[in-house]
A and B are shown apart, each in its own frame.
Chain A
């Protein structure tokens, strides 16, 4: 079993004035980005925890959606539902909210890598705050969280006092070379709460990625020696479009030589290497 990603999308988004999950993000949505980042970082499934009947933007078919039937009990309730659903798929879960527009896969990997057999929660301490909604949890905690809720607890902080919590400060996080290179300012934990936050985040330049085209695509996409072509693009679709290629049934993409996808909404990060290949690859 691999690690699991959990996104909590409940909450009223009252200061934002609109559901954060559906906020536009470079031709996609904020939720779609969050799900895509989790998919890049965990081996197991991604689980969305939503309020009953809450509309969520379109996500890939393999994303699991579970309902949190108890309204008004706060994130601890969503955490309990998410961990319970995740227990069948993995021992550890990275849990986050959907309002982290700069969440980076390297951050998630670092958090999950800090689990050991004596750890139930990996809790980052960044920018002077605990980050319970950008943290790692052992999925076996689900009954314990449920018990706390029954006893009246509402905030994740109450969990940290009764389980084995490993706190990670910024130095500990940035001791990871991959994270230090990818997100030196730990913007992964920056959340957006109101339209001004959103506007500032949205105005940030999209990441610069390196696009390489192979085979017949090299002719249309402009094969550029061995170094590829730098383009600014927040999604795979944007990167392909930037080199004049449409992600149709004859094209697939690989990120950093890793998983292969046709999902144009896949979020990109600075420094990503995007390989565009013929879907008819093979002998």
Chain B
């Protein structure tokens, strides 16, 4: 067995309350590494991709990685993987810290959960095995409160991942949280809530050696030293919020539901302005030398974690410039346990609809911080427009009907992060084709747009190549796992990552093999989606962003034409070895080592958007 792994997953059946080991061969571990890659393979093997994500038979996997537990900086991360109740496709989200280490040291490379508890429960896993206890009074608590409560109840050594009230209510963009960090995107918390599972608590009971501990220690020292360099300075000094004013300056800050790309009041929310006034402290995850978490004081005497995406989504995207309102909204999202991007995106959609007279909510206006907080409260309580907004923008738009879908800015049902695609053409492609939907963590193509090495307004072949490179790198980083904030310290990423993995696992990896691993993981995700109902029309951007010119502050007009996007998407599919139906070469599919046969192409494209377009079981197995 490779170093850094146990060669087994634990498969929990909540219907019976116990678990069974699932052997993981060295071949599978080497092909998929861990994290998102291994999680995708497990979802293929253990679940029906067409099953309702909120049904008992849906599978939710917590997946660790070879590097967890080593002294390598930023390696204490875990992936949560499931079919998304928001997109109907694969979603994989990462969170960090001690849960990753303790979870792995229960003796498992992954914990896959299916079934449904008969009442709200907490899953415990330690050296005595897996068992359920009553969730008791934690049901209804915020994730942070539940975690604190369970920590006190269970005693030292237990690490807890929990959902908040939104997960319990199956809000489709609810998160899973540990130590204040969220596996945020795609509604994993709703999947957990549908299983009536408030929390998973793990306690380390064993160890796992690296193949070459001395080499790993030396690599860890080197990586730690490099992590203090200029490539990570922005994360240490101001955090990702330092993007906000910069993005505003370059017409890349989506504002008022993507109707403009600059926000006049951006300075009021900028790290450069707020840091000295409000910064309280800086935190880091376990095993991290960067420390990207910047904590700001809130008006009520509390504090809020501040990063670019939550401030963007709850600020400029909703036209809100009052920092107190934005920070309060961010805290409220944390308390509910919802993804700030999808929350902000869905509320911004509702603001557009209200202003257009499509939604009877005259109080909901861009720029109104009080309205933003009321909308969040209604999402939490399920009152007023809350039930509508709990569905996310795509389903809510379909339910509202009329012109409402034209205001919904999402890809595959996942609301866009804070990157304006019309001024970032490589990122436009990355957002359109990514398996998870519109996402900046699985496609970092904005790096190419912002590098100055290609024209961000003139997407073409170079942009396609750049999008593929960043998607591949993300696939490996999310599987071995290292934090992407480290990505800038590597000069030859695949070779250097192969070196790190070789020291831990003992595999004779090189960069070329790891590059193939990346392609395999990307393909495996796409194949899950294909089995879940993906059609070629899903790799596209929303109408607000295509053939809809955007006037820039420079006077230039930025546009992403449908012809340009079509050319880039087609070129991406060709480069990925996919035919027009999204099907790969049979040899490439065989390389995935999946039990399920190669899917057939979708029989009929679905209208987009449409109510629950991917949640009706559509078995499509080639006989």
Contact = CB atoms under 8 A, between A and B. Distances in A.
Nearest to A273: B249
A277 B234 CA distance: 10
A283 B451 CA distance: 14
A216 B238 CA distance: 7
A273 B456 CA distance: 18
A28 B98 CA distance: 54
B271 A283 contact: no
Contact of B446 (A43, A252, A282): A282
A144 interface: no
Contacts of B555: 178
B308 A215 contact: no
A280 to B, nearest CB: 5
B455 A275 contact: no
A200 interface: no
Given A219-B237, A260-B451, A278 B246 contact: yes
Interface in B448-487: 449-453, 455-458, 484
A279 interface: yes
A215 B446 contact: no
A262 B488 contact: no
A240 to B, nearest CB: 13
Interface centre among B237, B452, B456 (most CB of A within 10 A): B452
A216 B245 CA distance: 12
Nearest to B307: A283
B451 A275 contact: no
B452 A262 contact: yes
B447 interface: yes
A257 B553 contact: yes
A209 B500 CA distance: 47
| B: interface residue count bin | 35 or more
Which of B234, B246, B455, B553 gathers the greatest number of chain A CB atoms within 10 Å?
B246
A278 B234 contact: yes
B440 A215 contact: no
Given A219-B237, A223-B272, A280 B488 contact: yes
Given A257-B554, A258-B552, A283 B440 contact: yes
B452 A214 contact: no
A283 B272 contact: no
Contacts of A219: 237
B230 interface: yes
Interface in B202-230: 230
B517 to A, nearest CB: 23
Interface string A249-260: 010111111111
A265 interface: no
Contacts of B251: 257-258
Contacts of A218: 272
Interface in B247-261: 247, 249-251
Interface in B284-317: 308-309
Determine which residue in B249, B267, B457 has the highest number of CB atoms from chain A within 10 A of its CB, and name it.
B249
A223 B553 CA distance: 21
A267 to B, nearest CB: 16
Contact of A279 (B243, B245, B451, B484): B451
A43 B557 CA distance: 12
Interface string A203-220: 000000000101110110
Contacts of B237: 215-216, 219
A73 B554 CA distance: 41
A226 interface: yes
A88 B197 CA distance: 63
Contact of A260 (B233, B245, B452): B452
B452 A283 contact: no
B381 interface: no
Interface in A104-153: none
A95 B55 CA distance: 67
A54 interface: no
A275 B554 CA distance: 13
Contacts of B97: none
Contacts of B308: 283
Contact of B249 (A178, A277, A278): A277
B234 A216 contact: yes
A254 to B, nearest CB: 5
Interface size class of A (residues with CB under 8 A): 20 to 34
B272 A215 contact: yes
Contacts of B272: 214-215, 218, 223
B447 A278 contact: no
B280 interface: no
Contacts of A262: 451-453
Contact of A215 (B232, B246, B309, B484): B246
B441 A214 contact: no
Contacts of B575: none
Contacts of B3: none
A236 B451 CA distance: 16
Contacts of B234: 215-216, 278, 280-281
B556 interface: yes
Nearest to B245: A214
A263 interface: yes
Contact of B309 (A257, A277, A283): A283
A121 to B, nearest CB: 25
B452 A275 contact: no
A250 B231 CA distance: 7
A184 to B, nearest CB: 18
A275 to B, nearest CB: 4
B450 A252 contact: yes
Contacts of B452: 252-253, 259-263, 279
A257 B252 CA distance: 9
Contacts of A256: 553-554
B599 interface: no
A62 to B, nearest CB: 9
> Which of A212, A261, A280, A283 has the most C-beta atoms of chain B within 10 angstroms of its own C-beta?
A283
Contacts of B103: none
A254 B261 CA distance: 15
Contact of A283 (B230, B243, B262): B243
B346 interface: no
Contacts of B552: 257-258
Contact of B242 (A216, A260, A279): A216
Contact of B451 (A214, A216, A252): A252
B7 interface: no
Nearest to A280: B488
Contact of B440 (A277, A279, A282): A282
Given A178-B555, A259-B455, 14 more contacts: A215-B272, A254-B250, A257-B554, A261-B452, A262-B452, A277-B246, A278-B246, A280-B232, A281-B234, A281-B247, A281-B446, A281-B450, A282-B444, A282-B450
27 contacts: A214-B246, A214-B249, A215-B242, A215-B272, A216-B233, A216-B234, A216-B242, A250-B233, A254-B250, A255-B554, A256-B553, A257-B552, A258-B554, A260-B449, A260-B450, A260-B452, A262-B451, A262-B453, A277-B246, A277-B250, A278-B233, A278-B242, A280-B232, A280-B234, A282-B446, A283-B309, A283-B440
6 closest Cβ pairs, A-B complex: A215-B242, A214-B246, A256-B554, A275-B249, A262-B452, A258-B554
